[in-house]
Chain A
């Protein structure tokens, strides 16, 4: 326990770093992913093509490579000086751009689970496009999107640790600070593991609860 109680400041700082990466990266991923997901189901062929190319390329790119490009190749291109806030912003966008592909795919497959007949029936009743979307399609799609979306966010939470390799403060990088203070690295990493297992189990529990509550009866 001493590893934690003697270094509360560091644990707090790194935990906050992880949460910032998780929440800000999640926001970027949600916004970008929704746009790309909408492009992938849009009636415009060129938008669908762009969405498909984006998703297929980034999904076959290691996250470490995305981070690598953002941390090492982008600063000389854009003339950025690598201060702590800049590194953090770059890390958030690396995580967001990577996770956005999974968000987009989740949204797309969620929309695909709604039977065509639902929208056709709604149109036959004379509902407008907005009404079909807001009252018939989206409520059903939303329910089937939530559980897999939670999985995407669980993965995002675990992926925040990759930022540790690119000098961004988070739970993944606490190891190096602790070893400077002469703490037992083995114990520190075990504690980090325990924290992640707890956080992931918490999110999976929420996922299961939401899933039971929002099951689509079909």
Chain B
């Protein structure tokens, strides 16, 4: 670690200081964990009665079904968001102003609306106009609208980061606009942006949890249900731990795929050159990757 901006190679005094700080870190972390374990023990969360609910097969079947509903909403929303993302990106890249302008305005507005408010509009707002919507569709449509608009910016940034020579060469061999886009620009842009696209899908998966608030019976909804059963001893804490572990596990798997793809892409020199970005040797975060792309989409708050 000698090549850090922040500190030099430590001398004897710095080594002692670092060790002391290391011990303090361990103590603080141990204190926080210890506090929670103590509270868990003191409120009887480790007792068998609190976990009795999770000895029933039926409870686990319900948890499995709730996981499937979470994944079901995620899968449909992911496919829809990718489709909408492509359409909006193509719209924003269009050479016709009457296509480009509305697409741009739509992307900006959809990105600025909180996903939950969009779900409220679909679930609570539309019935006023006489349209009743299932919570499932409210979740899916809101997720498609938001993540589609973010993905549109990602794809657009990817296309715009390509060297101009790519499209010029395409036109030179006689391809039309659609051919240049479909055969030359999009494949390279998607390759370069794949890690960011997958990272955005992690956001989509995380945001399916918002469905809990509009009564979509996903994992959190079931945790709340089982946690409020007084006949089972109201095991809200164990239910939160179990459902939380499932959610975090699912997101970690998807994130790991994104990291894997990123690493493989970086290994192939061809992508590095094509992406036109001077890829740093260190680990690149998604934000940095986007930031490296030229154009208006930089530093966007996707990923949050």
Interface residues in chain A, defined as those with a beta carbon under 8 Å from any beta carbon in chain B: 39, 41-47, 50, 56-57, 59-65, 68-69, 72-73, 76-79, 99, 102, 105-106, 109, 111-112, 114-116, 118-119, 123, 129, 133, 137, 147-148, 150-152, 154-156, 158-159, 161-162, 164-165, 172, 175, 179, 184-186, 188-190, 192-193, 196-197, 200-201, 207, 211
Shortest distance between the CB of B252 and any CB in chain A (Å): 5
For chain B residues 86-140, which have a beta carbon within 8 Å of chain A? 108-109, 111-118, 120-121, 124-129
- A61 x B236 contact (CB < 8 A): no
Among A65, A159, A161, the residue within 8 A (CB) of B304 is A159
Complex interface: chain B residues within 8 A of A57 (CB): 248
A77 in contact with B43 (CB, 8 Å)? yes
- Tell me, yes or no, whether B76 is within 8 Å of chain A by CB: no
Q: Are B237 and A77 in contact (CB under 8 A)?
A: yes
Complex contacts, A190 vs chain B, CB 8 Å: 121, 125
Interface size class of B (residues with CB under 8 A): 35 or more
Between A and B, 6 residue pairs with Cβ closer than 8 Å are: A43-B18, A44-B22, A60-B251, A151-B287, A162-B210, A165-B210
A116 CB contacts on chain B under 8 angstroms: 3-5
Name the contact of B22 in the complex, choosing from A47, A65, A72, A162 (C-beta under 8 A). A47
Inter-chain contact A164/B251, CB cutoff 8 Å: no
Pairwise interchain contact A76-B43, C-beta atoms closer than 8 A: yes
A109 to B106, CA, bound (A): 31
Contact status A186-B114, CB under 8 Å: no
Determine if B209 is an interface residue (Cβ-Cβ < 8 Å): yes
Contact A123 B8 (CB under 8 A): yes
* Smallest CB gap from A77: residue in B: B39
Q: Is B271 interfacial (CB 8 A cutoff)?
A: no
Q: When A and B form their complex, what is the total count of cross-chain residue pairs whose Cβ atoms lie within 8 Å?
A: 194
Q: Are the C-beta atoms of A193 and B121 separated by less than 8 Å? A: yes
CA–CA, A86 and B227, complex, Å: 21
Are A109 and B288 touching (Cβ within 8 A)?
A: yes
Other 17 A-B pairs with CB < 8 A, given A77-B40, A119-B6, A165-B116:
A41-B6, A47-B22, A60-B251, A62-B207, A68-B223, A69-B240, A119-B4, A147-B299, A151-B299, A155-B304, A158-B112, A162-B210, A172-B116, A172-B120, A186-B121, A186-B125, A196-B113
Assess whether B213 is in contact with A64, with CB atoms less than 8 Å apart. Answer: yes
Pair A193/B117 contact, Cβ less than 8 Å: yes
Q: Which of B29, B36, B112 has the most CB of A within 10 A?
A: B112
- A73 touches which of B111, B202, B205, B240 (Cβ 8 Å): B240
Is residue B282 contacting chain A, with contact meaning CB distance below 8 A? yes
Q: Which 6 A-B pairs have the closest CB atoms?
A: A165-B213, A155-B304, A62-B209, A60-B251, A64-B209, A151-B301
* B255 → chain A closest CB, angstroms: 6
Q: How far is the CB of B296 from chain A (nearest CB, A)?
A: 9
Which residues of chain B have C-beta atoms less than 8 A from A186's C-beta? Answer: 121, 125-126, 128-129
- Residues of chain A within 8 A (CB-CB) of B202 are 60
Q: B124 and A189: CB pair below 8 A?
A: yes
Shortest Cβ distance from A199 into chain B, in angstroms? Answer: 8
- Residues from 41 to 78 in B contacting A, C-beta threshold 8 Å: 43, 45
Closest residue of A by beta carbon distance from B115: A158
In the complex, the answer to whether B112 meets A201 with C-beta atoms within 8 Å is yes
- The one of A68, A129, A156 in contact with B212, judged by C-beta atoms closer than 8 angstroms, is A68
Q: Are A62 and B116 within 8 A (Cβ)?
A: no
Contact across chains for A200 and B300 when beta carbons are under 8 A apart: no
B224 on the interface (CB 8 Å rule)?
A: yes
Contact A72 B117, beta carbon cutoff 8 Å: no
Chain A minimum-CB-distance residue to B287: A148
Residue pair A162, B285 in contact (C-beta under 8 Å)? no
CA–CA, A98 and B178, complex, Å: 43
- The answer to whether B212 and A64 touch across the interface, beta carbons within 8 angstroms, is yes
Contact A207 B299, CB 8 Å, known A43-B18, A172-B116, A190-B121: yes
Nearest opposing residue in chain A for B43, CB measure: A77
Tell me whether A78 and B39 are in contact (CB under 8 A).
yes
A137 contacts which chain B residues (CB < 8 A)? 5-6
List, in ascending order, chain A residues with CB within 8 A of B205's CB: 62
In the complex, are the beta carbons of A72 and B224 less than 8 A apart?
yes
Q: How far is the CB of B230 from chain A (nearest CB, A)?
A: 13
B128 touches A105 (CB 8 A): no
Among residues of B, the one whose C-beta sits closest to the C-beta of A106 is B287
Q: Which of B203-245 contact A (CB under 8 A)?
A: 205-210, 212-213, 220, 223-224, 227, 236-237, 240-241, 243-244
